[in-house]
Structure 1
Amino acid sequence: MSSPHPIYTEAQLEKYLQRINHPSHNHGSSLEEVREKIQTDALGTLAELQRLHLAAIPWGNSGLHYSNHHTISLDPEMIFQKMVERRLDGYCMETTGLLFNVLLCLGYRVYATGGRVSRAVATGVDDGQFKSFGHMVLIVAIGDLKYMVDVGFGANCATAPLPLQDGATATRIAPSDMRLVRQSLTASFDKEQKVWVYQSRHNPESNWLPCICFSEVEFLPQDFELMNFGTSQQRTSWFTQTFVCTRMILDPSGQEVIGQDVMVGKQIKRRIHSNTEILEELQNEEDRVRALALHFDMHLRQEEILGIRGLSSELK
Structure 2
Amino acid sequence: MGSKPIYTEAQLEAYLKRIRYNGANTQDVSLVQDVRQRIQTDALGTLADLQRHHLAAIPWGNSGLHYSQHHTISLNPDSLYEKMVERGLDGYCMENTGLFLIVLRSLSFLVYATGGRVSHAASKGIDNGQFFSFGHMLLIVIIEGIKYMVDTGFGNNGSTAPLRLQEGVAATCIDPSEMRLVRETIDEFTDKTQKIWIYQLRYNAESKWLPMICFNDVEFLPQDFEVMNFAVSQTRTSWFTKTFVCQKMIMDEDARKIIGQCIMAGQEVKRRMRGQTEILQVLHTEEDRIEALVKYFDVHLRKNEIEGIRGLTSELI
TM-score of the two chains, using structure 2 as the length reference: 0.98
CA contact (8 A) 2:156 2:261 kept: yes
Matching residue of 2:22? 23
Q: Distance in 1 between matches of 2:126 and 2:66?
A: 29
1:135-189 deviations in Å (ceiling 9; x for gaps): 0000000113100000100001100000000112110000000000000111111
CA contact (8 A) 2:72 2:233 kept: yes
CA contact (8 A) 2:5 2:77 kept: no
Q: CA shift at 1:113, angstroms?
A: 0.2
CA contact (8 A) 1:124 1:209 kept: no
Question: Identity, % of aligned pairs?
Answer: 63
Matching residue of 2:13? 14
Matching residue of 2:243? 242
1:199-231 deviations in Å (ceiling 9; x for gaps): 001100000000000001100000000000000
Matching residue of 1:281? 282
Q: Aligned with 1:103: secondary structure?
A: helix
Number of positions where the alignment pairs a residue of Structure 1 with one of Structure 2: 315
Any residues of structure 2 matched to 1:97-246 within 5 Å, and which? 97-246=98-247
More deviation in 11-20 or 183-192? Answer: 183-192
Q: Distance in 2 between matches of 1:26 and 1:298?
A: 28
Q: Which amino acid aligns with 2:22?
A: P
Matching residue of 2:75? 74
Q: Distance in 2 between matches of 1:238 and 1:310?
A: 17
Q: Distance in 1 between matches of 2:235 and 2:43?
A: 39
Q: CA shift at 1:73, angstroms?
A: 0.1
Q: CA shift at 1:26, angstroms?
A: 2.3
Matching residue of 1:270? 271
Q: Distance in 2 between matches of 1:39 and 1:4?
A: 24
Q: Distance in 2 between matches of 1:168 and 1:221?
A: 31
Q: Distance in 1 between matches of 2:278 and 2:58?
A: 22
TM-score of the two chains, using structure 1 as the length reference: 0.98
Q: CA shift at 1:124, angstroms?
A: 2.1
Q: Distance in 2 between matches of 1:32 and 1:43?
A: 17
1:84-111 deviations in Å (ceiling 9; x for gaps): 0000000000000000000000000100
Classify 1:222/1:5 alpha carbon distance in 2 versus 1 (closer, same or farther; 3 Å): closer
Q: CA shift at 1:6, angstroms?
A: 5.0
CA contact (8 A) 1:247 1:296 kept: yes
Q: Distance in 1 between matches of 2:302 and 2:106?
A: 31
Q: Distance in 1 between matches of 2:83 and 2:164?
A: 31
Gaps of 5+ in 1: none
Matching residue of 2:58? 57
Q: Aligned with 2:156: secondary structure?
A: helix
Q: Aligned with 1:155: secondary structure?
A: coil
Q: Which amino acid aligns with 2:117?
A: R
Q: Distance in 2 between matches of 1:275 and 1:187?
A: 35
Q: Which amino acid aligns with 2:244?
A: F
1:224-258 deviations in Å (ceiling 9; x for gaps): 00000000000110100000000000000000100
CA contact (8 A) 1:125 1:209 kept: no
Q: Distance in 2 between matches of 1:41 and 1:181?
A: 26
Q: CA shift at 1:3, angstroms?
A: 6.2
Q: Aligned with 1:33: secondary structure?
A: helix
1:14-36 deviations in Å (ceiling 9; x for gaps): 00000000113323300000000
Q: Aligned with 1:168: secondary structure?
A: coil
Classify 1:285/1:3 alpha carbon distance in 2 versus 1 (closer, same or farther; 3 Å): farther
Q: Distance in 1 between matches of 2:37 and 2:150?
A: 21
Q: Aligned with 1:174: secondary structure?
A: coil
More deviation in 143-152 or 67-76? Answer: 143-152
More deviation in 4-13 or 251-260? Answer: 4-13
Q: CA shift at 1:275, angstroms?
A: 1.6
CA contact (8 A) 2:117 2:135 kept: yes
Q: Aligned with 2:170: secondary structure?
A: strand
Q: Aligned with 1:203: secondary structure?
A: coil
